[in-house]
A and B are shown apart, each in its own frame.
Chain A
């Protein structure tokens, strides 16, 4: 396996957290992993993205130009990354905010109203995990059950209350893409 994932959104949408969830899971599953955020002034209110690499080989460059999988949470991210997805790759877009549609026919696309679905579950902030579910529901590069285990094992004690809601968000994303 070698997957290069970009998750991108406004600061505060949880792109970095979703990426970490993926990274922890990859590590626990025995893959080589890297997670790298955009950092600096752009953290403050602008767009934030992270690059996650999961591989069966040691990872050289942690930064890449063309992701094999890309999750875009807002319009600027769609505009920036949609053209960059590798042919044959996957683009998952948060259609609550992203109105544009990809015209490419060489990639797989998934549009999911993640904010609405998260709001239905009780917290719009979980849109990131809904999107992660949609991504893994489309291409199971890591087992959903492992991501749940990651939530159990790596969420610190003081934030335990977010575990179950996030598991439901993950499942909601999977369920949505299976139904569509």
Chain B
């Protein structure tokens, strides 16, 4: 049974269905509806909801709840995610699971609230201090958002790491039909590492402080091993009209949707073009894109930024074929026509 739902509200409902037991957040456009939705739903289900004093507060509440082994989520938008970076770095080395959603907006600075993908580097290359990468999932539709949020909780538990989901105001504000999984009660599976009171066992400590260099190196090796596992297991992407594509357009999230329409129009005009849409931005689908680069004639990267993902596309393809870029910044969203014109320029 599908219901028509706004992307932001669907994020909240998906988390609830996945057994999210605690939500902490702070208002920031264009994702505030998640906070509002959770403020309505969570208390009625007997689950925790706090509107924090800041994003710093929110993410540290997440950190605290995560230490107890609870399924916990926060949502924010670009400037808020910047503010959270300190704790995110702590959480990564502390090996506790949580889900963080960044509904990106135009930047840098206060920027604006329009759709943008300028946080790609921050999201995929670490963001906070120290050596780490987080799993980053980028849905393009409300249904995909719901599916990935549900999965994000499982992945966070599996790797004991924060899992991030990125989108922008367009996916936050859009209404689409969506199906939800059954409601799951909050679960606390056996988590021997969690802080639950040292009853009948040695005390547990959750920290990211290791004063000895060798000891800290060990923890880093462990973290990197987790990241390698994530790289091995969690690559996700989708392909659209890729049969015989001479020009491959690479785009994700909102840009991916827009390109999809442009590709369809181009195909109707007989242009051999396809869309490759990464869904896991970290781990980036290097291997598949490398294969594609060996058969395609050229690549066009479309992003709502000055060009950030393009660096990963170049890495994947080893610059073996021409790669062009079409992007808009500051919250300007290109229309399918604009992308189509770009495609035609390249294949003429």
Contact = CB atoms under 8 A, between A and B. Distances in A.
On whether A and B touch (CB less than 8 Å), the answer reads: yes
Interface stretch (A58-66, A104-112, A138-146): A58-66
A27 B258 contact: no
Given A27-B177, A40-B113, A62-B170, A33 B260 contact: no
Nearest to A57: B264
A60 B336 contact: yes
Interface in B235-265: 257-264
Nearest to B112: A40
A81 B170 CA distance: 21
Contacts of A65: 335, 337
Interface residues of B, number: 26
B113 A33 contact: no
Given A39-B30, A40-B30, A61 B336 contact: yes
B4 A62 contact: no
Contacts of A27: 2, 4, 177
Contacts of A32: 177
A36 interface: yes
Interface string A33-45: 1111101100000
B335 A61 contact: yes
B258 A63 contact: yes
Interface residues of A, number: 19
A71 B113 CA distance: 26
Contacts of A23: 4, 175
Nearest to B115: A63
A61 B175 contact: no
Of A24, A27, A61, A64, which is in contact with the most chain B CB atoms at under 10 Å from its CB? A61
Contacts of B113: 39-40
B51 interface: no
A36 B336 CA distance: 16
Contacts of A34: 174-176
Contacts of B261: 59-61
A20 B176 CA distance: 10
A35 B4 contact: yes
A62 B167 CA distance: 15
Contacts of A20: 4, 175
Nearest to A65: B335
B335 A64 contact: yes
Contacts of B177: 27, 32-33
B162 interface: no
Contact of A63 (B112, B259, B262, B335): B335
Contact of B257 (A39, A40, A62): A62
A36 B170 contact: yes
A41 to B, nearest CB: 8
Given A23-B175, A37-B173, A39-B169, A61 B257 contact: yes
A40 B112 CA distance: 9
B174 A35 contact: yes
Given A27-B2, A36-B174, A37-B173, 10 more contacts: A27-B4, A33-B177, A35-B174, A35-B175, A36-B175, A60-B259, A60-B262, A61-B262, A62-B170, A63-B258
Interface of B: 2, 4, 29-30, 112-114, 169-170, 173-177, 257-264, 333, 335-337
11 contacts: A20-B4, A20-B175, A35-B175, A37-B173, A39-B169, A40-B29, A40-B30, A59-B257, A60-B260, A62-B257, A63-B258
